[in-house]
Structure 1
Amino acid sequence: MSSTALYTDLSGYYDLMCADIDYPAQSNGVRRLNQLFGNNGSDHLDLACGTGPHVRHFIDAGFNSAGLDINQPMLDIAQRRCPEAQFSLQDMCAFKVDGPLDLITCFLYSIHYSGTVERLQQCIASVHGALRVNGVFCFNAVDKGQINNQSFARHTVEHDGSHFAFSSGWHYSGHGEQQSLRLSIEKTTQGVTQSWQDEHPMVAVSFAELQKLLEPYFAVQVFEHDYARIASWDGQSGNAIFVCVKL
């Protein structure tokens, strides 16, 4: 499969794959950060929005939210979930907006889908160009030096007469700017199991490298990867939330 084939073929199962994600907590946490560091505006764009659950929460909180993704079947689901929102089929590393924005988000480590450091730089520049002064870019990231190749997140879901088992984990070779997200899905229906495996190429950066890419454009704050509280990054953990304010 190609790097997006699993998502395209199984877009109807994407929400099951993400069933263990606390979308309200993530959305509320980023809104609090935006209240602290942003410009009090409400024009919002979610990069790599998938099926739109974060957009739904932001709309319900009073934001004028939109989303973009490179996967049309996912956007079709997002549009049904958020009929009042505008969704566009665009690359987050080279996107255009109709007017300036106050908040741009990128959840679920999707910033790494940039793929290469060069494209990550293009993504950062595109975000900077789309934001108003004092607008906020908020995303989460993983430090390549802290990746445990043996660690996987797993969960199971019962849906429509089938049992689903999902697994995902990071893999980094220890050198270079490429890491991967390894995904596995098993669907068992009436004793018959189908399985899909995929490996998505992702950009690998350390937090120090990432901050160096961001600092020409933004004032950068780094926080612990905890959406329930606001705590400065301890300098040790391999997951963090970045809050970047346009200069």
Structure 2
Amino acid sequence: MSTNALYTDLSGYYDLMCRDINYQQQSNSVARLHQFLGNNGKQHLDLACGTGPHVRHFIDLGFQSSGLDINQPMLDIAMRRCPEAQFILQNMTEFYVEEKLDLITCFLYSIHYSAGTEALKACIASVHKALNSGGLFCFNSVDKHKINNKALVKHSAEFDGSQFVFESGWHYSGEGDMQSLNLSIGKTQFDATELWQDSHAMVATSFTELNALLSPYFDIHIFEHDYDKIIPWDLDSGNALFVCVKREIE
């Protein structure tokens, strides 16, 4: 078995790695929250959109949807999936849009791709600036104090004659504003296995700290991380869905 560092460009394996994710369920849930708490406008942007599956579902729900990502190969796939959408190559921690938006989403814990607290603050400020009055910012997050360093998410898939095993897990040292997302991909073909591993540095924050960063810009609603039901956060869960309504700053 050979082991290599996981290459930066995951675009070729991204959809396979995320095959178990119910993108339609997530998109429907956030669209429903937008009906209840947002301004009912239809201009939507998905931050860290990857290969565009959420964008596809928001278009199908009647939104004028667009996507933003820092990875051009991901965007190339997204453009093939959603030819009617606009995709933007930008860093979500400091982005701009020409026309204001009604809904900005950031799924799959991608808000943590901000490289430290200052970058996260810049992302939040960019989102606020990009939204129309009453616009909604929706994302999911993990509380650094609730991370179990031993917990892993694992699934397998077959593709092009090979068996793939994907594993991911959070790791937090217990101090500071950085955590890591550890990833591994195992590929077995003809009884030979290759293993790629990598560790992505990501911003670490508690929900209390995150609330403090958001509160100058937004009215904040926190829900359980459950896309089937709308349930207020129980004040204990380590994963939550943040739904933030733009507040006008004087």
Please say whether Structure 1 and Structure 2 have the same fold, judged by a TM-score greater than 0.5.
yes
Tell me which amino acid in the other structure corresponds to 2:7. L
Matches within 5 A, 1:53-92: 53-92=53-92
Aligned to 1:31: 31
In structure 2, stretches of 5+ residues that fail to align are none
Aligned to 1:198: 198
Aligned to 1:209: 209
In the TM superposition, what whole-angstrom CA distance separates every residue of 1:144-198 from its partner, at most 9, and x where no partner exists? 0000000000000011111000000000000000100000001111112111101
Aligned to 1:175: 175
Q: Determine whether 1:40 maps to 2:40.
A: yes
Structure 1 counterpart SS, 2:94: coil
Does structure 2 retain, via aligned residues, the 8 Å contact 1:49–1:55?
A: yes
Residues in 2 aligned to 1:57 and 1:120: alpha-carbon distance in whole angstroms? 27
Does structure 2 retain, via aligned residues, the 8 Å contact 1:93–1:123?
A: yes
Does structure 2 retain, via aligned residues, the 8 Å contact 1:220–1:244?
A: yes
Residues in 2 aligned to 1:45 and 1:189: alpha-carbon distance in whole angstroms? 39
Residues in 1 aligned to 2:185 and 2:222: alpha-carbon distance in whole angstroms? 33
Tell me which amino acid in the other structure corresponds to 2:203. V
Does structure 1 retain, via aligned residues, the 8 Å contact 2:115–2:203?
A: yes
State percent identity of aligned pairs: 66
Q: Determine whether 1:101 maps to 2:111.
A: no
Does structure 2 retain, via aligned residues, the 8 Å contact 1:38–1:245?
A: yes
Residues in 2 aligned to 1:6 and 1:49: alpha-carbon distance in whole angstroms? 19
Residues in 1 aligned to 2:189 and 2:130: alpha-carbon distance in whole angstroms? 46
Aligned to 1:184: 184
Runs of 4+, deviation exceeding 2 Å = 4-7
Aligned length: 243
Does structure 2 retain, via aligned residues, the 8 Å contact 1:7–1:14?
A: no
- Structure 2 vs 1, CA of residues 5 and 128 (structure 1 numbering), >3 Å: closer, same or farther? farther
In the TM superposition, what whole-angstrom CA distance separates every residue of 1:9-46 from its partner, at most 9, and x where no partner exists? x3111001001111111111111111110001000000
In structure 1, stretches of 5+ residues that fail to align are none
Tell me which amino acid in the other structure corresponds to 1:162. S
Instruction: Quote how far apart the aligned CAs of 1:50 are.
Output: 0.2
Aligned to 1:123: 123
Tell me which amino acid in the other structure corresponds to 1:15. D
In the TM superposition, what whole-angstrom CA distance separates every residue of 1:122-142 from its partner, at most 9, and x where no partner exists? 000000000001000000000
Instruction: Quote how far apart the aligned CAs of 1:85 are.
Output: 0.4
Aligned to 2:231: 231
Residues in 2 aligned to 1:189 and 1:34: alpha-carbon distance in whole angstroms? 45
Does structure 2 retain, via aligned residues, the 8 Å contact 1:39–1:134?
A: yes
Residues in 2 aligned to 1:7 and 1:104: alpha-carbon distance in whole angstroms? 26
User: What TM-score do the two structures reach when normalised by structure 2?
Assistant: 0.96
Instruction: Quote how far apart the aligned CAs of 1:6 are.
Output: 3.0
Residues in 1 aligned to 2:115 and 2:147: alpha-carbon distance in whole angstroms? 17
Residues in 2 aligned to 1:243 and 1:110: alpha-carbon distance in whole angstroms? 15
Structure 2 counterpart SS, 1:6: coil
Structure 2 counterpart SS, 1:121: helix
Residues in 1 aligned to 2:8 and 2:54: alpha-carbon distance in whole angstroms? 18
Tell me which amino acid in the other structure corresponds to 1:84. E
Residues in 2 aligned to 1:164 and 1:76: alpha-carbon distance in whole angstroms? 23
Residues in 2 aligned to 1:81 and 1:7: alpha-carbon distance in whole angstroms? 22
